[in-house]
Amino acid sequence: MTAKCVMVLGTTSGAGKSWLTTALCRYYQRQGLKVAPFKAQNMSNNARVVASENGQGEIGSAQYFQALAARAVPDVRMNPLLLKPEHDTHSQVVLMGQVSEPLSRMDWRGRSNHVWPVIAQALDDLRAENDVVVIEGAGSPAEINLSSSDIVNMRVALHAQAACLLVTDIDRGGAFAHLYGTWALLPENERALIKGFVLNKFRGDAGLLAPAPQMLQDLTGIPTVATLPMWWQHGLPEEDGVFDMTPTLGTGVSSLPPEGALTARGGPAPLTQVCIVAYPRISNLDEYQPLKNVPGVRLQWVRSPGEISSLKPTDWIILPGSKNTSGDLAWLRSQGLDAAVARHAGQGGAVMGICGGLQMLGEALIDPHGVDGNAPGLGLLPLVTVFEADKTVRHTQTRFSAQMTAQGIAAATTSGYVDAPSATRPVAALAAHDPWSVLAGVEVSGYEIHHGQTQPHAAMQAAGDVALEVLAGGLGWQNPAGNVLGLYLHGLFEDPAALQALFGARFNKPVPTLDSVFDGLADFIEQHFESGALQALLKPN
């Protein structure tokens, strides 16, 4: 088979390419078609571990979610080139799932010629195995300063002879100029591939748009095939950056009103506030999106001590992953957040660290290979992390220890797991609310992407100050008080069993999952696209 290709282009970054591509993947899959996503080059520190010829490798999270929406097995061909920014002018280059140091050192324009044959082959292979390939572009296809080195927009569209949708963010203003200007800057053979314009994030009466869509069609010959209403909480992680800095409460509503209005509409009162520390080099932040979909959970991204000063012990602080753990740890200290996190932990408050966050919770970061940098840790777990030159990248299926119950922790404490004081680590009494005990014995799956390996601090262990290993192989550690948990396992909140264990008992019903989000996206575009427009994209050019 040779798949028909449908491509989503945008007039700007943030226009809505990623979520629309995801919606199309589920829409076409529900038509009984075999579907795969594709994005030639992605720039993001949000990555997932998938199958590759060399075992396992990394792709951008957006393509991972798009594959799940298509009910396809994610693999590296769906995002053959991933750029992971490490500094403002440097990125780690991941080609077909594997880090390439030579490409990471190469000039960007020179790199394009080297990687294009690999990109084209990956796309051709997916086309040979599927009925439809839904392709996502990047930025704008009309960035004329970059067009000679393009490997992600119109070069891909021409190679696949894709039927292209051009989407714009009408909420920013100037949408018709953006659409017309993008079209006008493209050469004629590229214009011919654009089959429809999409107005995204519209608020108000769509009838007021007339006669602009028809005027635009008169100028370009291209119809506006959809006007999509503003939809803040569609449930899909945003591809880039913190999805919003406004505290939100999971309610299933499709907009983001002020907090008071939310309560007035009958939304549930927050049972748990989850504060995620948003340091500068945060990575894999999109794995927390499912928390926004859980009723009764109030999610907030924090960057100052004042934002977490009033937390209750039952509220959570999460230290997420980092692309530069030692640098983000220094930033954390400069903001005074280290003391605020320690204070919350010392009062028995729930603290979780994931990947780089786990490393921060320990006593020290040791970097013999110059990978990340040396630094003292926060001292909330008696652990030491040593960075290694080789990166660990793998899928992981594991089970939490049964000792994560109050009885198990108490038994471990009397057996020598003593929460002894240290110079930096506050002592917390046994947490009465057992924040993580509901995970005891739960089997979970996720992924690892890290350079460091973390083990108990030898001297502290000899003195009886020992962390509980709650995931085998050094993947998870807990303090004996039970309130501080560190994990190397990414994707905990994307695992249905973990979500149900953490939140399901409160509501006596299933917690919303990503699969329900994908169906909601498909329903949305089916409702708002012009009748027949999505099927027309599959017709021969």
178, 451, 490, 528: the active-site residue: 490
State the pairing for strand pair 476-478/321-322: unpaired
Query: If DSSP codes are grouped into helix, strand and coil, which group holds residue 334?
Result: helix
- Select which of 355, 450, 457, 528 is catalytic: 355
Which residue has 């929460």 as its token pair? 419
> Residue 135: beta bridge partners?
7, 38
| Surface-to-core class of residue 257, CB atoms within 10 Å of its CB (0-12 exposed, 13-18 middle, 19+ buried) | middle
DSSP for residue 501: I
State yes or no: cis peptide before 320, omega within 30 of 0: no
**CA-based nearest residue to 151, from 102, 98, 83:** 83
Annotation says 164 is catalytic: no
In angstroms, rounded to a whole number, what is the distance separating the alpha carbons of residues 498 and 505?
12
403 vs 413: CA distance, rounded Å: 11
Residue type for 93, please?
A: V
DSSP 262-324: HHHTTPPPPSEEEEEE--TTEESGGGGHHHHTSBTEEEEEE-SGGGGTT--TTSEEEE-EESS
Which letter does DSSP use for residue 464 in this model?
T
Token readout for 74 is 């994610």
Residue with tokens 């939304």: 267
Residue 53 token pair: 């010829």
Point out which residues pair with 498 in neighbouring strands: none
Q: What six digits make up the tokens of 484?
A: 């501080």
Greatest distance between any 2 Cα atoms in the chain: 80
End-to-end CA, the chain: 17
Distances (CA, A) of 1 to 4, 25, 32, 211: 9, 18, 15, 42
Does 490 participate in catalysis according to the annotation?
yes
What are φ and ψ of residue 423, in 5° steps?
Answer: -65, -30
Query: Using CB atoms within 10 A of its CB, is residue 467 exposed (0-12), middle (13-18) or buried (19+)?
Result: buried
Half-sphere exposure of 413 (CA within 13 A, CB side): 18
What are the tokens at 414?
Answer: 């009397």
Q: DSSP letter at 490?
A: B
Query: Which run of H or of E encompasses 330?
Result: helix 325-334
Q: In this structure, are residues 99 and 76 in contact, taking their beta carbons and an 8 Å threshold?
A: no
In single-letter form, the type of residue at position 290 comes to P
Phi-psi region of 473 (alpha: psi -120 to 50; beta: other; left: phi over 0): left
Active centre residues (catalytic):
355, 490
